[in-house]
Structure 1
């Protein structure tokens, strides 16, 4: 195991409409750090939940976003490879710009069942958690910076896109990889990441719901072997600089333990 990895759990409101993600955030980080045999640190605590429009949610999420931005910057400055655990995807609004600030050539691999490329003007729901990528790309101004480039971005496992997201991905020629493509050919991914820094974002709803429980689950997801195949490819061809794992939100202990098995198995390449 690379001893430069450090698990950082960052808890608090980031557009949460339910409390499930916040309730298990630190416990998940503790169990993952034990599995990987790495150091862990905890920041924040569960807060309120509210169904807010993106602008109000962004304002109320300022504390956790500011903390996430400063913590990942500090981890990089100290020579660590951070593994961030956060309740919701919205924290990527603050973390991905810091990744690109420190590693301008970095390729971002983004696992998610959803597109996460709506904007304040294209979103039907107004949900902040659907907008982190476009914020990090500078399509709209979140106040937390940008820097992610479409040609250095790979979206994996998506299967529930809004029409505006289909248009965004097509217009910007973003590399999208489905479950079937992972099984058949990873040559384009390997070309893009070859000898480049790589940061991996995993929203656990990318998994098949029978493998990992997620609040916003979508059928026909990835199995553990698909995530393992990508992580193995990153290890062989790129330079992994960190990860971010979000949306882990089981409601019962049974769901939690069941999900740990598949999730940790998908990350087993990190142990060697």
Structure 2
């Protein structure tokens, strides 16, 4: 049975059920399914935050206004969890939720690097975004390139963009200017990632669309992504680093036109070395 905890005793496994400006509700049901599976597998409590609702429509400004109250609550709970000495694992429906989490990580662990697994760069601003999608502006917002109202404490120099291969011109320009480190799929290996981390504490963000199409349902299925075994190897290696927390986003509960819930076995197997270390208080894996 999955046990939920009260806010007076922060649980390190956090499921943010609220809307993260997604185009459909399947991310909200997907994030809960993943969190419940992890909680049951590890026999640990689960804290749920926010309430699932309908998909949002409108401009990025309208979406940001709608989600901000819940994002503020998420940030406060994460800060409380980190301050208690715990290393949280957060599931959220869409990567826009990191507008709330990244500034908190940057304040609580200013020396940490962010390993951002994603098919996209998420480095756009409202001025450079071609789509106007809030999730595509996350890192830029947390780094103060535009004002989300949720914090701008992150330094781009602390970001390792891992697996991104669908980049807009403005995002590529930031990479070319060496404002942050980019490890595209062809250059992303355990050795390259360890060199990039260089002994620093690590916070991990995983957008499930970094995986090759057909592994798990996500709003974007993009050719050229990481094979499951590649991501599993990287996650196992990261379990040997000083990981201060992890978040997972962009997982949908169902494949299109399939009423049956998606099988999350492969994703859970990929995550388990890190999740077990963070949530079950195991010692770091040997390199």
TM-score (norm 1): 0.90
User: Deviation at 1:255?
Assistant: 5.5
Aligned counterpart, 2:204: 200
Distance, in Å, in 2 between the alignment partners of 1:107 and 1:17 is 30
Distance, in Å, in 1 between the alignment partners of 2:210 and 2:130 is 22
Superposition pairs of residues 13-52 of structure 1, within 5 angstroms: 13-52=19-58
Q: Is the 8 A contact 2:164 2:184 kept in 1?
A: yes
Distance, in Å, in 2 between the alignment partners of 1:64 and 1:168 is 30
More helix by share: 1
User: Deviation at 1:261?
Assistant: 1.8
Distance, in Å, in 2 between the alignment partners of 1:268 and 1:27 is 15
After TM superposition, where is structure 1 displaced by more than 3 Å over at least 4 residues in a row? Answer: 252-255
Aligned counterpart, 1:78: 84
Aligned counterpart, 1:186: 191
Please state whether the residue corresponding to 2:239 is helix, strand or coil. Answer: helix
Aligned counterpart, 1:58: 64
Instruction: Kindly provide the CA deviation profile for residues 154-205 of structure 1, in whole angstroms up to 9, marking residues without a partner as x.
Output: 011112111221112222342212232234x624x32342332110000111
Distance, in Å, in 2 between the alignment partners of 1:97 and 1:167 is 23
Aligned residues: CA RMSD: 1.9
User: Deviation at 1:5?
Assistant: 7.9
User: Deviation at 1:234?
Assistant: 2.3
Distance, in Å, in 1 between the alignment partners of 2:207 and 2:56 is 21
Distance, in Å, in 1 between the alignment partners of 2:203 and 2:55 is 29
Distance, in Å, in 1 between the alignment partners of 2:239 and 2:94 is 26
Q: Is the 8 A contact 2:29 2:253 kept in 1?
A: no
Aligned counterpart, 1:244: 247
The alpha-carbon distance between structure 1 residues 182 and 207, as it changes in their structure 2 partners (threshold 3 A), is: same
Aligned length: 264
Instruction: Kindly provide the CA deviation profile for residues 100-147 of structure 1, in whole angstroms up to 9, marking residues without a partner as x.
Output: 100000100001111111101111111111100001111111111122
Instruction: Kindly provide the CA deviation profile for residues 186-238 of structure 1, in whole angstroms up to 9, marking residues without a partner as x.
Output: 24x323423321100001111112212211121121122222222233233x3
Please state whether the residue corresponding to 2:130 is helix, strand or coil. Answer: coil
TM-score (norm 2): 0.86
Distance, in Å, in 2 between the alignment partners of 1:5 and 1:35 is 16
Distance, in Å, in 1 between the alignment partners of 2:224 and 2:42 is 28
